[in-house]
Amino acid sequence: MKRDLLSLHDLSSDEIHYIIDLALKLKNSNSKTTDHLKNKAVGLLFQKPSNRTRVSFEIAIWQLGGKCLYLAPQEINLGKRESVSDVAKTLSRYLDCIVARTFSHADVVELAENASAIIINGLSDLFHPCQALADILTVKEKFGNKKKALISYIGDGNNVCNSLILACARVGYDLNIATPKHYAPNQGVLDIAHDIAKKTKSTISIFNNPREAVSNADVIYSDVWVSMGQEEEDKKRKKDFKRFQINANLVKYAQPNYIFMHCLPAHRGMEVSADVIDGPNSVVFDQAENRMHVQKAILTFLLASPSA
């Protein structure tokens, strides 16, 4: 039976630790290339353009010995020129795996329900699981096996935040989240994560005050205030998020050796000041590089033959 990766709820804690450890092993290997995906074809079906997701997946697939096919938004026009279910069934006749980057999470679910090919969520409006796994990989790289790293996410309770919640709950990291009112993360995701966190002995706490959320943090994490597709809300969002900028006055409440993370693209002077993102505690480009290593591990976990 095929395994899809639509959200981190699809993976157990042990499986997430396995993927992170495998990503570190692949990253630190003397050889960049393997034949784990030999004779495998992976399609990148994107409704949204991207930099990191596309390039990191294309290079990951190439380094694993597989074939990658990029399907741009205008080529498939998912759900408009052709139904989601018909696209899923057709592409499954050619491809072993589809990485889907969609506006609606419902489209990723419908693809998975109708495809015989493996579906990986490359980003939807609800989840961004590959980003969250790269985030955990980065924290583990910087802090080793420290069990109780405290991550503080400041900003929009969006898809990045939802996946970070599940990731932290699964691996046992404590997570503080500070958002403006009406921008809280998905309540259903929080309910699931709180149940998981009871088993992994982690905490997930919600704040409206960023200063309280970053107190003694090992990691400060931010995302853009206005994501792709939200341009009409630009003026309102900039006003609502103004108190939530990561800057020198805020980071002094974190641990002295804190790291700053951002999934990029970033806007200096908005969600983060330039002195923070370009400063010595910033690891945003290590984090971006880790997208590729963790995606190699995900693809190997889901697609590689047992003998590979």
Q: Please say whether the beta carbons of 92 and 117 come within 8 A.
A: yes
Beta strands in 14-168 (DSSP E): 41-46, 67-71, 97-101, 118-123, 150-154
CA separation, residue 209 to residues 206, 213, 245 (Å): 9, 7, 11
**CA dist., res. 131 & res. 291, Å (int):** 6
Q: Please say whether the beta carbons of 165 and 189 come within 8 A.
A: yes
Where does residue 29 rank: exposed (0-12), middle (13-18), buried (19+ CB within 10 A)? exposed
CA 22 to chain centre: 17
**CA dist., res. 64 & res. 95, Å (int):** 16
Q: Please say whether the beta carbons of 135 and 22 come within 8 A.
A: no
Active site residues: 101, 128, 131, 223, 263, 291
C-alpha angle with apex 202: 207 to 256, nearest 5 degrees? 65
- Three-state DSSP state, 240: helix
